[in-house]
Amino acid sequence: MYSTIVRIAPFLLALSGMTAIGRAAPPGPNPRVDAAVHNVMAKTGAKGLALAIIDGARVRYVRAYGVRNAAGDPLRTDTIMYGASLTKTVFAYTVLQLVDQGKLALDTPLGKYLDKPLTDYDTDAIYPDKYGPYRDLAGDPRWKRITARHALTHSTGFANFSWIEPDKKLRIHSDPGTRFSYSGEGLILLQFVIENGRKDRGLGLDLGTLTQANFDRLGMMRTSLKWRADFRPNLADGFDDQGQVQAHDERSKVRVAGSMDTTIADLSKFVAALVRHDGLSAASYAEMVKPQLHIGTAHQFPNFAPELPAAQQRRDLYTGLGVVTFDGPQGHGFFKGGHDGQTANTVVCLVKSRKCVLILSNDVRAEAGFADLVHAVLGDTGVPYDWEYGDRAGKS
């Protein structure tokens, strides 16, 4: 029954004169969307899930389902949830604002924005456990080539994080700009340059302050890149792939690779603003969502996996700036995911129609139903979930 409901929903709507999202959703429940969500939760075992629909760059539907913790308290649209790597897209948006202001250029080597060589900085003395160990790069001059574009396209050559290296040392595995390999470490480097860069170039800026200004402007009053005590009364814990409760991690420092706390009501406002490039120039938005660097691997992980033979590569799969881009039956689109052992998030947007679906779940098992749920809401988009998850969807 589940697969039948999900697959025929867009067809039934077409018969009634609507698209997969169609006209603006009424203020009350949407039975079709609600049924698709309940089926995904039943199939995957997910305890909680929140969903928002954006159509024509406007928020049309926001709903929360299930529970937020082991006590069975309901998940609500204003419940604080972990944003995970959707933080990276928020960061890319903020970086492009700096580009619009002339404070940063995408293709200028990041070292040009520093008062001294990157490898001379004692980052733990500046802020413990916030930035990377850049002294490790002293023997590799390729760090001098790394740009903001490389960081935002995951092509710095870094592993995801230095601490996953066998010796926990930061190193460059491939020439900057030559290939995609997912790296939070690259984004943290860009954060370091923005926060510690030359003041005569307009840098030395706090990313927490910059992002909060956007959140405030968009009315996102329950979103922050740093933990706030007022979040605690209505907070979502997580559920791992065994259904075990995991306490919410109260992140005490701004880390642009993944420290955001948010709500479905708040983050839907950001997604709508993004696709109407509110706060960005048209040129910067176009730069963000255009194909930047082709991705030739079978899956997103592991880092530095061999590329597939050319004939087996997905030709439309590229990294944008803070997102991954693709082309499907409804044209050009982009998406971004967020994941940890108890979190499953995704956003998928279609550029021409400015339609998006945003899903936040406090249960990692929900990932296994994302492809069907996005299809139920948006129809056939061609979003490359096989590449993103491989056989790891819904697993801690």
pLDDT given at position 394: 95
If phi > 0 it is left, if psi is from -120 to 50 it is alpha, else beta; for residue 202 that is left
- Same domain? For 76 and 111 the reply is no
Q: Which of 166, 201, 236 is at the close of a domain?
A: 201
Contact in structure between 262 and 220 (CB atoms under 8 Å): yes
Arithmetic mean of pLDDT over the chain: 93
Q: What is the DSSP letter of 297?
A: S
**82 lies in the same domain as 170:** no
Q: Tell me how far apart the alpha carbons of residues 66 and 47 are, in angstroms, rounded to a whole number.
A: 6
Q: Of 201, 234, 267, which residue sits at a domain end?
A: 201
* pLDDT tens, residue by residue, 3-18: 323 333 333 333 233 3
Q: What is the pLDDT of residue 21?
A: 39
Task: Read off the pLDDT of residues 350-360 as tens digits, 9 standing for 90 and up.
Answer: 999 999 999 99
Whether residue 156 is found in the same domain as residue 227: no
Tell me the pLDDT band of 27, cut-offs 50, 70 and 90. low
- In order, the DSSP letters of 191-250 are HHHHHHS-GGGT----HHHHHHHHHHHTT-TT-BSS--GGGGGGB--EE-TTS-EEPPP-
CA distance 46 to 373: 13
Domain assignment present for residue 98? The answer is no
Q: Are residues 221 and 195 in the same domain?
A: no
What total number of domains does the chain contain? 2
| Same domain for 212 and 196 | no
For residue 390, the tally of other CB atoms under 10 A from its CB is: 14
CA dihedral 240, 363, 347, 208 (to 10 degrees): -80
> Please, are residues 61 and 95 in contact by the beta-carbon 8 Å criterion?
no
* Distance from C-alpha of 75 to C-alpha of 66, rounded to nearest angstrom: 6
48 occurs within a structural domain: no
Same domain, yes or no: 278 and 137: no
pLDDT digits (tens, 9 = 90+) for 243-271: 999 999 999 999 999 999 999 999 999 99
Give the model's confidence band at 158: pLDDT under 50 very low, under 70 low, under 90 confident, else very high.
very high
Does the pLDDT value for residue 300 go beyond 90? yes
Q: Is residue 396 part of a domain?
A: no
Domain assignment present for 380: yes
Distance, CA of 240 to CA of 256 (rounded, Å) = 24
Q: Is 79 contained in some domain?
A: yes
Rounded CA gap, 205 and 112, in Å? 16
Q: Which residues have C-beta within 8 Å of that of residue 164, sequence separation ≥ 6?
A: none
- Domain housing 180: 104-201
pLDDT average, residue stretch 305-311: 96
Of 201, 235, 255, which residue is a domain's last?
A: 201
Same domain (yes/no): 248, 132? no
Sequence-separated (6 or more) residues with CB below 8 Å from residue 161: 183, 184, 185
* Confidence band, pLDDT 50/70/90 cuts, at residue 19: very low
> Does any domain span residue 190?
yes
